[in-house]
Structure 1
Amino acid sequence: MSDQPKKNKGIIEAITSFAERYVPDSYVILLILSLLTFILALIFTPSNPYQVVQAWGKGFWILLEFSMQMALIIVTGYALATTPQCNRLLVALCSQP
């Protein structure tokens, strides 16, 4: 029984060591995927490089708008859920069978 936690810890440390050593940062992944998408868009669409960059820029701002909306929902939801009134309501709802 005492060997199990040590064995799990060894596995976890091995996975962590592998990830730290070989998995690139998210920014590097972003750059690689952006470059790959740019190249594939040039190959498989009738667009020139300028049009591909313009489309990427428009898509970026749409995604940024969406992510800010989701962040606003999370922050306002947390602020609302921590009020005493909502806390009492949540406790009452959760206590029902």
Structure 2
Amino acid sequence: FRFLNQTANSLAEHLAMLQQQRRSTLTRGEFRKQAWSKHPERAPTVTADAIAFDAMARLVAWTVLEKTELSERAQVYAFWVETTAASLQLHDFSSACAVL
């Protein structure tokens, strides 16, 4: 199984780059007085990060559950486990958690 014709390592690298790009716009003000939990518009990066995390988790679940055969589901799940391992090697813990 390959997702978007990519290996698990390649996908993990892309996820890490996207994560870094998103986080590079993070400001201190987004954490001040828990602005992210009270006013999402005051914490656009934190909000975007949460949305991306949820979308990734849904995508992983969908790719596994769309398969009807258990053997196919196992292959897809193994791919995502490999992607998680690669994300951990890149110290991209957010993507690793979203995937698993």
Asked which structure has the greater CA Rg, the reply is: 1
Relative contact order higher in (CA < 8 Å, ≥ 6 apart): 2
Query: TM-score normalised to the size of structure 1?
Result: 0.32
- The structure carrying a bigger helix percent of its residues is 1
